[in-house]
Chain A
């Protein structure tokens, strides 16, 4: 793969990765949010695949394939199943921060991410490390979604955005995490989502709702 094509494809994948995170913040319908999350998984896999093609590493290519299966296939499927039982509560109706304000907050988060990662990028400037701010932006947006959304499912998506961002930063900084580490992390995320899915279902069975703001006080 020649150098300019590599840089362009890498930038394109990074751009799509960031755009998906923004779309999660923008849209209210939970089904759309899950679909966008799946697309982000594809973008992340594309990012890793481009790195794999550039480094000519089979291991990275395997990791890219695993990411597609897990983040664009299994996790969205689990989320959709958690949503299917939710009945009419399919929308993020009252986020703590309204959508326009959270979009502007995302703009600020982007600038913060850029400012914070400057020293890191300057250590070894290359096309891959220059995309690190995008990874950090996705981490910060994920955290923001986790903090400001009320539905259990959107908080779950926020957590997964956070994890996607961390994974992206890992691959961009090191140009290849060992397969064992990546597998361990992926398994961790999968189990976390499974546990949270069961928790969501139990919450709905007990309270009839998944609005986490209702869970402020202890009852017996």
Chain B
């Protein structure tokens, strides 16, 4: 186990570095793809990093009357996302902290970050913060059951919710990726991830129109380094969710040994897969309009049904 433990340890160091450094770049790539498809020049893929650098240099300002909840929310959001970035087997098949790399624990950690941000939105006491928080809670209440049921569908075949176990089982038997269970679960998870990371058609990440915004309404009161932390953590959440998708359904290229060559392949395969997914997502968003808020439950009910069918299919077609 010592050799395998080394793989996990290397992964636990390499992954967060890659995700922290790479997720704003991926956001930049997505914005650039969108700009090109809309016939604009675009700001370049480094723009999110430039924005972050600018924000980090500003002095921290807190709105009057806010409490610790508002102050700690960005740190909680960042912390939970970082823990997931460390433990999930994105680059190596082993996890640095095996007991935490449980799908339920990972989902709970990611939800904790969302809840912290929603509480911060409520804490400001402004109309927008409260509205954004209540919308976010509505969406997450519908998203969470789908996520858990889809995860159940994936873990039933392996008999474990441990992420490394699921990944290595898929690596040993690639045929199971094209089974109906996987296909239904992947569609359900894609819908849920789009809703959870606040992309179109559920939430428009580039809007500041009061009637439509969800995520932006919650973070409206943040400024300076706090805002930078929230923005960086949001970009990382998108990367982590897409990473979970690739690691569950397309785990090829993941390092199984601690040799530098295998690690290099693992890192570049992860970066390539995430970039492809991000480009696809951005290209898809160009052709989509934002859904009315009252139609969102319909979309999420559909994805819940798909995840339930995935579980049912894993019993039907055993």
Q: Which residues of A contact B (CB under 8 A)?
A: 4, 8, 11-12, 14-16, 18-19, 22, 26, 98-101, 103-104, 106-107, 110-111, 114, 127, 130-131, 133-134
Contact = CB atoms under 8 A, between A and B. Distances in A.
Give the residue among A100, A111, A127, A133 with the most B Cβ atoms within 10 A: A100
A107 B184 contact: no
Nearest to A23: B302
A215 B316 CA distance: 41
7 contacts: A12-B180, A14-B180, A14-B317, A103-B301, A106-B305, A107-B305, A134-B313
Given A99-B298, A133-B316, A15 B305 contact: no
A100 B298 contact: yes
A212 to B, nearest CB: 23
Contacts of B313: 11, 15, 18, 134
Q: Which of B175, B179, B302 has the most A CB atoms < 10 Å from its CB? A: B302
* A interface, over-half SS: helix
B317 A130 contact: yes
Contacts of A14: 180, 317
Given A12-B180, A100-B298, A107 B308 contact: yes
The size class of the interface chain B forms with chain A is 20 to 34
A114 B313 CA distance: 10
Contacts of B178: 8, 12
A11 B309 contact: no
Contact of A8 (B175, B298, B305): B175
Interface string B183-206: 110000000000000000000000
A22 B316 contact: no
- In the A-B complex, the 10 residue pairs with the closest CB atoms: A15-B180, A100-B301, A103-B301, A103-B305, A11-B317, A107-B308, A100-B298, A133-B316, A99-B298, A107-B305
B279 interface: no
B100 to A, nearest CB: 31
Contacts of A131: 316-317
Contact of B180 (A11, A103, A107): A11
Interface in B144-171: none
Given A11-B179, A12-B178, A134-B316, A103 B309 contact: no
B184 A100 contact: no
B318 A104 contact: no
A110 B179 contact: no
A8 B308 contact: no
Contacts of B297: 100
Contact of B316 (A98, A101, A130): A130
A200 B268 CA distance: 59
B179 A114 contact: no
Interface string B303-317: 011101100110111
Nearest to A27: B302
B316 A114 contact: yes
Nearest to A101: B301
Given A11-B317, A134-B316, 12 more contacts: A11-B179, A15-B184, A16-B180, A18-B313, A22-B302, A99-B301, A100-B297, A100-B298, A101-B301, A103-B302, A104-B301, A107-B308
A110 B301 contact: no
Nearest to A22: B305
Nearest to A104: B301
Nearest to B142: A100
B152 to A, nearest CB: 14
Nearest to A134: B316
Nearest to B297: A100
Contacts of B304: 103-104, 107
A106 B306 CA distance: 10
A14 B308 CA distance: 16
A110 B175 contact: no
Contacts of B180: 11-12, 14-16, 18
Nearest to B180: A15
Count chain A CB atoms within 10 A of each CB in B180, B308, B312 and give the residue with the most. B180
B183 A15 contact: yes
A18 B139 CA distance: 27
A92 B230 CA distance: 42
